[in-house]
A and B are shown apart, each in its own frame.
Chain A
Amino acid sequence: MNTQAARNPSRYSYYVSNDFYLELIADFSDWQNDARIIEDTAERDLFRRLVEKEARILDRLLYEEWLSLYTPECAYWVPSTPEGGDPRSEIAVMFDDRRRLEDRVFRLRTGYAWSQAPSSRTSRIVSNVEVFSCDRDDQRMVRSNFSISEFWDGEIRVLAGWTGHRFRKDDGVWKISAKQVNLLNCDQCIRNPSIIL
């Protein structure tokens, strides 16, 4: 296999290595630190708008556009413990690399994903956005709260919690390189957890 093919993370998963996990765990540990908070309103506004844009795109089910907000070598992580845990030795509610994120979208698009036939309608509110600097200049951590009202099967329910976004510059553009979605009830039984959070 040529190197270029091997480096296509939509097709092959080479980047999810032990180092990748260790960096992810480190980046999502002890990061919500007042000393690192970004005061600059323009920068805070930039990231707030990115988080809001993601919510809008997901509410509109524009999955392909949503994927374009992510770096090629990304992680989408919904831990099954409130502390986040170590995804190398714990099952997560969801833990996707680029290819599995595309699997998730592919499945929803097959027309045979009965858990989303018909699709849920969602209305996402994201708020309390705070931006934190990192040791790397090309990286920011963003915390926000979410409340997703989901209409499915005749009922509206609420999924709530907070999100940690790891943004990185990718060809000069801020993209999501990891998203950790912390559901309040992540360690409880959840009915039909099949929308993208």
Chain B
Amino acid sequence: MTLERVKAPTRLQNAPLYNWDELVQEDRVHRLIYTDPAVFEAEMTQIFGGTWVYLAHESQIPNPNDFITGKLGLRPLIITRDDEGKIRALYNRCTHRGTTLCRWDKGNSRSFQCPYHGWNFANTGKLRGVPWPDGYAEKLVRNDKYNLAQVPRVESYRGFIFGTLNMEAAPLTVHLGPIKRPLDEWLDRNPGGKVIVCEANRLKYKGNWKLAYDNSGDGYHVIFSHRSLIQTENRFADEATAKGMSYYQSTPDDLPMYIQYMGNGHHFKDKRPNLEKRPGGLWAIESLHPGMEHVQDKLRAKYGERAEEMLDLAGSEPVNINVFPNLSLLGNHIQVFQPVAFDETDTIWYGTKIEDVDGTLGDEVLTDINALRMRTQEGFPNFGEVDDVTNFEQIQRGLAAPEDEWIYMNRGYDIPGRIQILDDGTIKGPATDELFMREYIREWKRLMKADADIAIQREP
């Protein structure tokens, strides 16, 4: 179906707010990029309109006419799957007076009726009817401009739905580029190469959204910000193997784990090389969770060595796959950063479960492994992330001091031989390097300067 493209009337004037080269330098950034509401407002179009943004996972709308509500930047959306399976990201905004049409988080509906004056829209965004149409000089349902606005480009990669308003953005798979490899590996470790989203740990902090993205590949904060977590995970002194992220405790830069910048703002922290390369190597460092000994002993007794790979399915995959600007796959979570205001952000840690795609696990093992997987996933948000977001809030507070202007991201900068540029253009360095911050903020700056071709569209 060909869709009519409409230039967004609100297209940013791109009046330069600041000299971005002054605020974003090679090894430091100015506090204003976190504290100025005008910068935030510009980001909501330049970044959250100008590049591909994660919207939802296909498993959240598996059936025809399923929908969930979401956001693109601050734009309220209804992400729908129509009768034929096509996915759209509709603006949750009545074309009459601007009211949000849908106030539920999720559901199944062919249409949405505005609660204010009763305008009725199909889940394709098309206006189906208005009350007492005789009161209008024209037939509104015949005029495209009354159909709901929608994100003009919506594409999926292996279940992950992204959207952008930028008509000139590269196709999604090109845009993802090298980050697809770890994303593929993250999916392919599960049966059938797929995961199902299942509820979430949902946190809010009073700080700028970039503080979470700055943190997403940060190996330097681990043993300090998460000191209470690491002590808790390792509180049984008789445990032969150190648990969780204990490997960060002594000279983490000498370990085989690494940080890699993957282009277009994406980056990848790979801690897998620290593990023993064997089935059960991941499970061996999993911290202690409800039901783990029960399931472990039961599976080992019944399945012998095969139990180890089953248990690994419940283990927290030691990677951080960060897709700029708002998606982070870590452990088994799909974490989404949702900006609310310049100093307020929601971080939603969607859990994932697995399916017994090829029937090799059986119902009992599937139930046990998923139950264990739920419990492993609850661990970090409860015992780790709460300390991080507290620190993010305290950064925002510290940045209130106007004369002390700079924030540094120079760890690993300008040290000969420390960082490698690989043949595919990706950049690799030791685990605690801030190279990913320097690189992603360069992409941020490029987008903030860009005169992107921002558009919305409506059904014809």
- Using CB atoms and an 8 Å cutoff, list the residues of chain A in contact with chain B: 6, 11-18, 20-21, 80-81, 85, 87-97, 99-100, 103-104, 106-107, 110-115, 153, 187-194
Q: What bracket does the count of chain B residues touching chain A fall in?
A: 35 or more
B198 interfacial contact with A, CB 8 Å: yes
B289 interfacial contact with A, CB 8 Å: yes
Bound complex: CA of A190 vs CA of B385, how far in Å? Answer: 12
What is the minimal beta-carbon distance from A21 to any residue of chain B, in angstroms? 7
What is the minimal beta-carbon distance from A15 to any residue of chain B, in angstroms? 7
Bound complex: CA of A90 vs CA of B347, how far in Å? Answer: 18
The 0/1 profile, CB within 8 Å of A marked 1, for residues 58-101 of chain B is: 00000000000000000000000000000000000000000000
Beyond A92-B374, A189-B348, 12 additional pairs, beta carbon < 8 A: A13-B293, A17-B291, A17-B294, A81-B199, A92-B378, A95-B290, A99-B290, A114-B225, A114-B391, A189-B204, A189-B347, A193-B386
B136 interfacial contact with A, CB 8 Å: no
B201 interfacial contact with A, CB 8 Å: yes
Within 8 A of A (CB), among B203-238: 203-206, 225, 227-229, 231-232, 235-236
Q: Is the CB of A112 within 8 A of B231?
A: yes
Q: Is the CB of B367 within 8 A of A18?
A: yes
The 8 Å CB contact of A194, one of B198, B225, B297, B386, is B386
Q: Is the CB of A114 within 8 A of B387?
A: yes
B368 interfacial contact with A, CB 8 Å: yes
Q: Is the CB of B199 within 8 A of A90?
A: yes
B189 interfacial contact with A, CB 8 Å: no
Contacts of A193 in B (CB 8 A): 203, 386
> Given contacts A85-B199, A94-B378, are A113 and B228 in contact (CB under 8 A)?
yes
Contacts of A6 in B (CB 8 A): 293
> Given contacts A17-B294, A189-B203, are A110 and B386 in contact (CB under 8 A)?
no
Within 8 A of A (CB), among B286-317: 288-294, 297
Bound complex: CA of A156 vs CA of B168, how far in Å? Answer: 48
Contacts of A189 in B (CB 8 A): 202-204, 338, 346-348
Q: Is the CB of B198 within 8 A of A89?
A: yes
Q: Is the CB of A13 within 8 A of B351?
A: no
What is the minimal beta-carbon distance from A74 to any residue of chain B, in angstroms? 11
What is the minimal beta-carbon distance from B336 to any residue of chain A, in angstroms? 11
Bound complex: CA of A97 vs CA of B291, how far in Å? Answer: 8
Q: Is the CB of B290 within 8 A of A91?
A: no
B105 interfacial contact with A, CB 8 Å: yes
The 0/1 profile, CB within 8 Å of A marked 1, for residues 374-394 of chain B is: 110110001100110111010
What is the minimal beta-carbon distance from B287 to any residue of chain A, in angstroms? 9
